[in-house]
């Protein structure tokens, strides 16, 4: 779901923000206690917990509330049409932020928090491999630079005044605060220079309990004014609705930042309720429609079994044509507008 923020000033409706929000309610269709299923499931992760923190010389890459606001970073060079992510091609930096908020925090002396951090790393590894492979099948070379072991400048830890409980109900306030945090705490310009790329997205992970009902979501960008913040990224609530976040969820949210719409709701690009009903009735195995095994209706933690079909490939710019879009008469993607 993408929402343009607007404000009513006098008798005029003025657009006051260019950030578009992609709110994902995907996991609401899950049933049962998936938290327990996840706990018993093995996944490929050769990393020791200590490896995530590197050695002493890398410790300066991690920030907390004691040095929030220490960066003078306010803006950086970015593609004025697509925001910080740019198009889905070439090298793309992925910043990981393990964030505390008003009701949650991380304690990496705790084995459960260590496991969730490793889960995030593994999800990111599987998701980026999946995205790169699918992009290649469409003739696009994409390289996500995400590994904070090799690039410690991509890993941050901080306490924030965000409140994940309003992420869906008051997304505008939530993302305004998030953009300020990114502006003040992440040295984006330096990261882009060190990795020799112009494209970057930001992933924030929250240590939420299984009882959390807030859905994972993505912040997308549409430029209207020169001063509009270009930040694009995803917020992951590592446990919610009695499940643990899966690699497919990571890939789904990341695709939003490159233009992919949710296929389970009639909202943008002229998607109709008729199409949404069609996708649901046929159990369309597109990652923007479902993020679980279409046969078992359960999340998968060691791979991604969902596809990037022609409609998602088109809206992310991987192809300039989609039979589905033509058949249903949907709008052009942002790369052709």
70-84, 89-103, 220-234: which range is least confident on average?
70-84
Give residue 123's pLDDT.
98
Residue 113 has pLDDT above 70, yes or no: yes
Average pLDDT over residues 259-279: 96
Rg (CA), the chain: 19
Distance CA 42, CA 118 (A): 12
- DSSP secondary structure letters along 250-296: HHHHHHHTTTPPPSSSS-STT--HHHHHHHHHTT--BTTT--S-TTT
15-19, 163-167, 222-226, 310-314: which range is least confident on average?
15-19
Q: At what angle do helices 247-256 and 111-137 cross, to 10 degrees?
A: 60
- Residue 95: which H helix or E strand, with range? strand 90-100
Give residue 80's pLDDT.
56
Angle value at C-alpha 77, between 74 and 79, nearest 5 degrees = 125
Long-range contacts of 269-275 (CB under 8 A, 24+ apart): 269/315, 269/330, 269/331, 269/333, 270/329, 270/330, 270/331, 271/328, 271/330, 272/328, 275/328, 275/330
Residue 11 has pLDDT above 50, yes or no: no
What rounded mean pLDDT belongs to the chain? Answer: 81
Q: Which residue did the predictor score with more confidence, 38 or 304?
A: 304
Distance CA 23, CA 241 (A): 15
Give 194-240 pLDDT, tens digit per residue: 999 999 999 999 999 999 999 898 887 654 445 567 889 999 999 99
Distance CA 168, CA 319 (A): 31
C-alpha count within 13 angstroms, C-beta hemisphere, residue 266: 12
Banded model confidence at residue 58, pLDDT cuts 50, 70, 90:
very low
Q: What is the pTM of this model?
A: 0.82
Residue 304 has pLDDT above 60, yes or no: yes
> Domain limits of the chain?
19-328
Average pLDDT over residues 26-40: 42
Distance CA 234, CA 114 (A): 21
């Amino acid at each position: 779901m993408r929402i343009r923020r607007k404000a009513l000033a006098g008798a005029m409706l003025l657009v006051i923000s260019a950030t578009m929000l992609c709110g994902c309610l995907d996991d609401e269709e899950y049933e049962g206690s998936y938290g327990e299923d996840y706990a018993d499931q093995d996944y490929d992760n050769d990393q020791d917990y200590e490896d995530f923190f590197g050695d002493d010389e890398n410790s300066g890459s991690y920030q907390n509330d004691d040095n929030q606001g220490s960066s003078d970073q306010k803006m950086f060079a970015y593609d004025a049409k697509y925001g910080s992510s740019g198009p889905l091609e070439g090298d793309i930096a992925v910043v990981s932020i393990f964030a505390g908020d008003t009701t949650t925090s991380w304690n990496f002396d705790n084995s459960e928090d260590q496991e969730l951090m490793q889960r995030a790393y593994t999800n990111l590894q599987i998701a980026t491999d999946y995205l790169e492979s699918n992009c290649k099948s469409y003739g696009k070379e994409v390289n996500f630079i995400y590994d904070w072991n090799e690039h410690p400048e991509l890993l941050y830890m901080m306490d924030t005044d965000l409140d994940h409980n309003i992420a869906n109900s008051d997304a505008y306030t939530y993302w305004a605060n998030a953009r300020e945090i990114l502006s003040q705490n992440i040295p984006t310009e330096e990261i882009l220079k060190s990795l020799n790329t112009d494209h970057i997205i930001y992933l924030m992970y929250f240590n939420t309990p299984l009882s959390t009902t807030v859905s994972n979501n993505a912040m997308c960008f549409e430029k209207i004014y020169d001063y509009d913040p270009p930040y694009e990224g995803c917020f992951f609530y590592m446990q919610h609705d009695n499940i643990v976040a899966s690699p497919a969820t990571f890939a789904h949210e990341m695709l939003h930042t490159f233009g992919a719409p949710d296929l389970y709701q009639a909202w943008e690009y002229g998607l109709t309720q008729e199409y949404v009903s069609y996708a649901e009735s046929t159990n369309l195995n597109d990652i923007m429609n479902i993020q679980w095994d279409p046969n078992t209706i359960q999340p998968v933690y060691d791979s991604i079994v969902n596809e990037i079909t022609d409609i998602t490939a088109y809206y992310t710019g991987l192809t300039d044509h989609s039979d589905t879009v033509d058949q249903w008469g949907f709008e052009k993607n942002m790369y052709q507008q």
